[in-house]
Amino acid sequence: MMDKLALTLAIIGGLNWGCIGVFQFDIVAWICGGQTSIISRVIYTLVGLAAIWCISLLFRDTSDNSNSSIDTKRSSQY
């Protein structure tokens, strides 16, 4: 659940940065009333924290979880 939320926020941040880079248009600031508004700063902070959380996704080995469930199913058949 937390992984999906963090990934969603990181994607939103990435799309916002893409718009800033290509169009020089900050969507978050436009929606929330400027870069210095409290709402914008909260969103920027949440996106930053989500990006930090997503760093942990790079170092997780999810293949072990799927393999262990397969091994458990195989051992219960014998």
Average pLDDT over residues 11-33: 96
What's the pLDDT tens digit per position in 28-68? 999 999 999 999 999 999 999 999 999 999 998 877 555 55
Which has more confidence, 78 or 58? 58
- Helices 2-23/38-58 angle, 10° precision: 120
Average pLDDT over residues 13-26: 96
Residue 26 confidence (pLDDT): 96
